[in-house]
Structure 1
């Protein structure tokens, strides 16, 4: 207890005597790019009236150049969605974007970027692109009316704004065309939503939130090696925490994940004391569990965390929107918050160890062990073999169980009943909850079921439903019926991208900067797949084939200065570069490697 007080006191002193480096992390204009997107199709609706489809939505402006004089005022509509008449939907609902612009004249031969009227821009935007750039909105379609000159004499482009992005560093294909389209949807979302240089929650607010940013970060790291956006966003959160309890508890993992991919300890060292404050350790009761129920506005903890507004309320969120909580029964001491708290303690132990604070690493590790014991004593129902929503709760939600499993709180002997319960509940969570649901299923080798959830085509809680609705970026929620004011450009819906890379293919760093990589594939019944995964040391390139006899063949290309450890999850005989191997764990050095897992020959 004394040591805990000392740690809390040192954190408070840090915040008292150290000022924030406000805006030191602002994105720089030179790190942004414009992509000129040409029309995929141009359809004449009637004389002088055309519909232009750019193929995918981007955040951008319209660029026009004519070779003849247009004497009449042009009416231009921009939008993300079409209506049933194959016209831009002018009343799309929610925050699906629509904009009308009237142009009096277009100078001959001059390339012009059309400004977006202010009334179509979000009313509240916490962050924005550098002032050197025009304001942008998301759109895929353009309608032009009153065109008096031939359509061939006018050049019309979508001028997209985004952060520096290398399209060629990553790729994925497989025998499942639905899976491929979902991966492409997610990759495009990561690129297209980067227009502020921060991980934002979509067009409506354009604000960073920790949980949104974490999923965005994982997916971004799977397609590019530009880590500036993550580092800008993480530093933004140090100055601007958000109100949900679990979002605050994402802060340490945002920083540690960046360290694993970038190999840079700078941000861990500079922000360690602040990350300790975000652990919410001050809320512990005797048995190690935490609750925010007693917190009031202006509490000293609020100031220590970094809230600028004294009336900010910290509240448990579980999932969002509220309809996606699977009827979670809120109690002062609940499973979801304490699952995140357990993970946070474990994460702080890793961070402390990384920056050479061994005593504090042990301190947090011991606290995590104590919490795990209390967690199972208080929340686990021995009779049913699953977790209830909270202390004195009578309800058993999907979230109480998949978060318990995801954070490593379920003893091995109870894993089976928890997984059975999770599978009964299907996808009764949001696109945010899906990140942790899919992750924990694959951590426990439930690849068949995880793939089924990702590639679902008949239910609204699916990524295919987003594609069918017409969105080319992942949506804020599964469908409009779950949240009326949804937007169509929310990167916290990109879980499949990082799940495919990090869990289905099982490629992730196990030491900082990808010095050591793990490759632990569980591609189930996919007939073939290829993947290219970016790292600072180069790309990991892999191919997979399943033959008619059930043998699994792999080809790997490992970049220089990296060791990759291949893990076989099957009890098959392995041929490695033509030699029989009995160990299911093989070290792959830089260069090319061939592996075959022989189904009918067990080790």
Structure 2
């Protein structure tokens, strides 16, 4: 009997240890956040604003007993000032909880009801020790019979370990500053699963969501474990949209560039080759999800559990009204009327970029023959796209083979992925600018990238800081969200949520393209700094890297711009110079006129650029 009891104790101890280790392995932390504002609404009725939404619960400790029940309401959205919206749209969260009593000096959390969908079989699960959590900013308490001063009330926020001091941004554009802060908070707050998930509605990783999340996370913190865990998840858990599959290589490549570690590339190289979808190629190099090669055997090789899984082109999300049944504000959805023909420009632009990156990946792991193979294949695909999917008389790309329609997506993706020949960049960018923000918050990632990369920084920055209408990030702040939303507004996606990190494109594009701070060589041994700051009169940024922190600031006065750049120990940085400069100085010494860049060693550097 004693042996049985001992064995049982060992099993219980092991189970508890495993549960604790699981939480530690996920690097999840708890932050207790005090109320920013408490408002008395009536006798025993209080409204509490914690300032920002987090995923978590409410933690309460009382100095005195209350034997009567208390009623709590938690929510993300207000209906009126000091009143939580009790019937919010879509997947905006609200919940009511009754607490039977309060016992003095005993800390309690509320018993939240789990959501059936985001805790179902397909969702990522939280460790049991964390319990049920939900996103909320506001709290109402009713029937409080003791002084509220006797309560210590906290928003118990769950999030991945996060260094709040690893990054900052401020500038002469206060709207842009607010949007950067909105995005940074989103990255921290949506990290509550230890994986990059799509949001609270499903809590499932999707490749496109995860890629934007990864770029933004790397822009504000130098912790890479969460991204790697998510990347590894996709090897055996792909999702069905064609373009989502085509983000897998992009995620592994960016991890390699930021960390310099080739092991994930080696471990998953054969799977990454599959995820390029090159098995769907036809003779001219272009691919199609309608290819007869997309059979059950290939579907299983790609990692899907069911051989009958249908892989479909998605272009952007949500799709058209005819596909969803929703009464959308824009009946074409977020596709700008895209004509989804079997061989289309969006899918093949992603395919080209996959091949280009696979060439670099093969080279990094010393597969020389494969590097040449992918380089040649990428050149073939580029040539086919530009000969078969480009309208030479109009100067822009069509949606695909056999299509006569041209959309924003068919042009912004080739521009972002460096497919556009030099002689056509002007007409392609003109067409893109004529379409405005005719894409989703996800599509905006590639719109902004293409614009910044091709000297359209003023237009790109204007899109980020736009305050007119509702198809912009300012609208997310205006309607009351403290995280980026799944869609520009609820009317564009009626089931959307208020906590989607795929909306953080401004954060990573401002870091990587507006300030132009990216790894030039793997692991940030050499950084690239290529500022395209547009109309900003001044700005300051701190960027985390594996090697330490890059500090940069600029001040524009008349015809002179002064940059102060601090490079961490052990790193070099190539600072790209504007072609229009008439005179340049580096640390008070004149730079040769023919110089296109400056190599900066570790330490502080002052660069003056005269136009």
TM-score by length of 2: 0.92
Contact 1:475 1:487 in 2 (8 A): yes
Pair 1:594 & 2:591 matched = no
- The match for 1:14 is none
Q: Distance in 1 between matches of 2:22 and 2:345?
A: 37
Report what 1:251 is aligned to. 248
Residues 121 and 154 of structure 1: is their aligned pair in 2 closer, same or farther, counting only changes over 3 Å? farther
Partner SS state of residue 55, structure 1: strand
- In the other structure, the counterpart of 1:517 is 527
Q: Secondary structure at the match of 1:293?
A: coil
Alignment partner, residue 439 of structure 2: 429
Q: Distance in 2 between matches of 1:247 and 1:168?
A: 32
Match of 2:596 in 1: 584
> Do 1:121 and 1:137's aligned partners in 2 also have CA atoms closer than 8 Å?
no
Gaps of at least 5 residues in structure 2 are 1-20, 320-332
Whether contact under 8 Å (1:296, 1:313) holds in the other structure is no
Distance apart, 1:298 and its partner CA: 5.7
The alignment yields a C-alpha RMSD, in angstroms, of 1.4
* Matching of residue 122 in structure 1 with residue 132 in structure 2: no
> 1:545 Cα shift?
0.5
Query: 2:26·2:160 contact (CA, 8 Å) conserved in 1?
Result: no
Partner of 1:438: 448
Give the corresponding residue for 1:260: 257
SS in 1 for 2:486: coil
Indicate which of 354, 357, 364 corresponds to 1:344: 354
- Aligned equivalent of 1:101: 97
- Shift in Å, 1:50: 0.5
For residues 29-53 of structure 1, the C-alpha deviation after alignment (integer angstroms, 9 at most, x for no partner) is 4611111110000011111101100
Following the alignment from structure 1 to structure 2, what is the Cα–Cα distance between the partners of residues 163 and 123? Answer: 19
> What secondary structure, in the 3-state scheme, does the structure 2 residue paired with 1:201 have?
coil
Residue 48 of structure 2 is aligned to residue 52 of structure 1: yes
- Superposition deviation, residue 294 in structure 1: 3.5
Closer, same or farther: CA 499–368 of 1 in aligned 2, 3 Å: same
Give the one of 288, 293, 302 matched to 2:290.
293
Q: Does 1:283 align with 2:280?
A: yes
Matching of residues 529-568 of structure 1 within 5 Å? 529-547=539-557, 549-568=558-577
Task: Determine if the alignment matches structure 1 residue 132 to structure 2 residue 136.
Answer: no
Superposition TM-score, scaled by structure 1 size: 0.93
Structure-2 separation of matches of 1:155 and 1:593: 49
Aligned partner (choices 391, 398, 405) of residue 388 of structure 1:
398
Cα distance, 1:115 vs structure 2: 2.6
Matched positions, count: 574
Match of 2:35 among 39, 52, 56: 39
CA shift in 2, pair 1:296/1:141, >3 Å: farther
1:486-525 alignment to 2 at 5 Å?
486-525=496-535
Partner of 2:487: 477
> Aligned partners of 1:234, 1:324: CA distance in 2, in Å?
27
In the alignment, is the contact (CA less than 8 A) between 1:534 and 1:540 conserved in 2? Answer: yes
- Which residues of 2 match residues 60-459 of structure 1 at below 5 A? 60-84=56-80, 86-119=82-115, 122-124=118-120, 125-294=122-291, 299-322=296-319, 323-459=333-469
Match of 2:9 in 1: none
Deviates more, 1:131-140 or 1:118-127: 118-127
Contact 2:170 2:177 in 1 (8 A): yes
Specify whether residues 26 and 36 from structure 1 end up closer, same or farther in structure 2 by C-alpha distance, changes over 3 A only: closer
